[in-house]
Copies of this chain bind each other. A is one copy, B any other.
């Protein structure tokens, strides 16, 4: 059956896919330095070829620079203000409960994936972490499963069963390079078997949290990613790749984590009643200990929000403090799901709640993390030449969540 090229419109943007497999990849945690160093070692020949034949540049991600936020933006093409996912974790004021924000119940926008399926594409979503599957497959007809729980996928609920035998891939450990490589290999297999022609492949950043760009395991990881890019290109795919966020070491000179415990600091200064939410919090303990460079602060009623903001802004290591209105205006946040204040920290600093809230013993190495302004800029790679209009767009202020637009609409394949 021919691949559908029927246009579809979602969240105000029209997509007209080419008659070949479309693959968008979220290279979770891929600060540009990871590509730079591995390329210098001549270990990413396919990425190099994509750069030469297509496009490589930098794009601005959504804030906070976290996984769920940016994956949601990528599959919807809109900001967190529109789609509503502003963290992995938040304080639901309706429920008066701190909850994971990994349910599609919190998603306020249609996805490009669901719309593509409705327009006749065979859509597949493969994500490393199970936590993302529900959001990414929202209202979507097609295949959606995670590397983490690949062996639990069922035809009725995931659009595919017996993944291990059908695709010839064993379910990987989640804290591994294989968790991400599985996602890419599954993508290749789905295309080769004619099971999908419109794919979103979302990796995990365990490797980037654990290794610096020049570390041997990281070089080997990116080389292995590149090998799968080559197989996707050989299968005729047009590929768009970006990242949800960058990654920086967040350590002191002695190698210990560089943490500001914001709830502790505020309680000491202003008294009890503060609630600090770390929206990086997720079920994966070996990545970051729930420490990132962005927290949300609920200020008790008897304390002046302005006083708290001014005091926080003057603390070393804090780079930005915004009240709700400014977080909506400057950071594209949904007003009803953020706290009174949001706080961003420096390139080498993370913000946390209290020492008791963060278990750093599970980390496999020093602390590397993200969430703030210094992990906002990420690479964009497109495998095929951009049209003049999209080349011009790339020269403005393109976003990582324009990646479907660039990949589907932006190349000379159209």
* B58 pairs with A40, CB closer than 8 A: no
A41: chain B residues at CB < 8 Å are 52
The residue of chain B having its C-beta at the shortest distance from the C-beta of A317 within the complex is: B397
Of residues 277 to 329 in A, which have CB atoms within 8 Å of B's CB atoms? 313-314, 319, 326, 329
0 or 1 for each of A2-40: is its CB under 8 Å from B? (1 = yes): 000000000000000000000000000000110111011
* B347 pairs with A329, CB closer than 8 A: no
* B60 pairs with A37, CB closer than 8 A: no
A56 interface residue (CB < 8 Å to B) = yes
With contact pairs A33-B57, A36-B56, A39-B39 given, residues A397 and B48 touching in the complex (Cβ less than 8 Å):
no
* B56 pairs with A40, CB closer than 8 A: yes
A126 CB, min distance to chain B CBs, angstroms: 28
Select one of B33, B48, B397 contacting A346, CB under 8 A: B397
Q: Complex Cα distance A56/B57, Å?
A: 18
A226: chain B residues at CB < 8 Å are none
A377: chain B residues at CB < 8 Å are 374, 377
A330 interface residue (CB < 8 Å to B) = yes
* B57 pairs with A40, CB closer than 8 A: no
A51 interface residue (CB < 8 Å to B) = yes
A255 interface residue (CB < 8 Å to B) = yes
A396 interface residue (CB < 8 Å to B) = yes
A414 interface residue (CB < 8 Å to B) = no
A385 CB, min distance to chain B CBs, angstroms: 11
A118 interface residue (CB < 8 Å to B) = no
A395: chain B residues at CB < 8 Å are 212, 249, 251
Select one of B51, B326, B396 contacting A36, CB under 8 A: B51
A156 interface residue (CB < 8 Å to B) = no
Identical chains bound together, number: 2
With contact pairs A326-B313, A347-B397 given, residues A58 and B33 touching in the complex (Cβ less than 8 Å):
yes
Which of under 10, 10 to 19, 20 to 34, or 35 or more describes the interface residues of A? 35 or more
A69 CB, min distance to chain B CBs, angstroms: 19
A412 interface residue (CB < 8 Å to B) = no
Q: Complex Cα distance A329/B316, Å?
A: 8
A60: chain B residues at CB < 8 Å are 347
* B51 pairs with A396, CB closer than 8 A: no
A152 CB, min distance to chain B CBs, angstroms: 38
A255: chain B residues at CB < 8 Å are 392
0 or 1 for each of A150-176: is its CB under 8 Å from B? (1 = yes): 000000000000000000000000000
* A396 pairs with B251, CB closer than 8 A: yes
A52: chain B residues at CB < 8 Å are 40-41
Of residues 376 to 405 in A, which have CB atoms within 8 Å of B's CB atoms? 377, 392-393, 395-397
Q: Complex Cα distance A395/B348, Å?
A: 9
A347: chain B residues at CB < 8 Å are 60, 397
Q: Complex Cα distance A39/B314, Å?
A: 41
A308 CB, min distance to chain B CBs, angstroms: 16
A360 CB, min distance to chain B CBs, angstroms: 17
The 4 closest A-B pairs by CB, nearest first: A348-B397, A40-B51, A249-B395, A347-B397
Can you give 16 contacting A-B residue pairs, CB < 8 Å? A33-B57, A35-B36, A37-B51, A39-B39, A39-B40, A40-B52, A40-B56, A41-B52, A60-B347, A251-B396, A253-B392, A253-B393, A313-B330, A346-B397, A347-B397, A373-B373
Chain A interface (Cβ < 8 Å from any Cβ of B): 32-33, 35-37, 39-41, 48, 51-52, 56-58, 60, 212-213, 249, 251-253, 255, 313-314, 319, 326, 329-330, 346-348, 373-374, 377, 392-393, 395-397
A sample of 5 more A-B contacts (CB under 8 A), given A36-B36, A319-B330, A377-B377, is A32-B32, A40-B48, A255-B392, A346-B397, A348-B396
